[in-house]
Amino acid sequence: MESLETILHVRDLTLIKEDRIILDNVNIQVKKGEVCAILGDNGAGKSSMAYTIMGLSDFKPTRGRIIFLGQDISLLSINERAKRGISLAWQEPTRFEGLQVKDYLTLSCKDNPTKYLEMVGLDGKKYLERAVDNSLSGGERKRIELASILSLKPKLVILDEPDSGIDILGMGYLKKIIDGFKLEGSSILLITHQRDVLQLADSAYLLCNGRVNYQGEAKEVTKYYRAKCSKCSEGGKNNGEP
């Protein structure tokens, strides 16, 4: 039995694609109500882990299990996982020609969409009638994606590099987004390559070459990263050793 406090338990997860090990026996737990960060350099396997948890078609686990609220969801489809309360905010949100923002924000939620646009710093009236297409900038699409996920009030949200593309607004913006999800009762799995972001997390895992290298409270992981990983990152290496 899973602890009631554990909302997500990734157990012994291995993902092999085209004979390449992407995730290697990864174990992760996210507690209810917490912000859990996955820190790692480019290519560490962070997004692959996010996609595997969400159940995307090219990311079926080779081994291991994904336990959500005590149930094994490893074989469920994406929308079945979404219905159970998991959702994913993509690093690079897609475009939808002809789909209006107001419709995108009410796909599975009938709340007033303006509220969620304002939570991500957008003027609702200005955006509701716009299409989620290339008439929006990358940063606008990113915020709209986050607003749409907020409107779902997921039990667990996976935020894949939520600050990429809108870096200029920095930490204050990200904190606001995270607070918004907390307000909706969501636990958060925060995927990032920026160690500064760890200050917004409660716990963290350091992922390197598909393996968990270190885990603990966010502060501890930050210290560990500063002490042992900086040189490796600065040198552009990612050889699995801190």
Query: Quick one: tokens of 144?
Result: 């709209």
The nearest distance, CB 108 to other proteins, in angstroms, is 4
Nearer to other proteins, 170 or 185 (CB): 185
The nearest distance, CB 60 to other proteins, in angstroms, is 13
The nearest distance, CB 25 to other proteins, in angstroms, is 26
- Chain residues in the site for other proteins (CB under 8 A): 54, 56-57, 77-79, 81-83, 87-88, 90, 93-94, 96-99, 107-108, 131, 148-149, 152
The nearest distance, CB 170 to other proteins, in angstroms, is 26
Nearer to other proteins, 88 or 174 (CB): 88
Nearer to other proteins, 16 or 78 (CB): 78
Nearer to other proteins, 83 or 175 (CB): 83
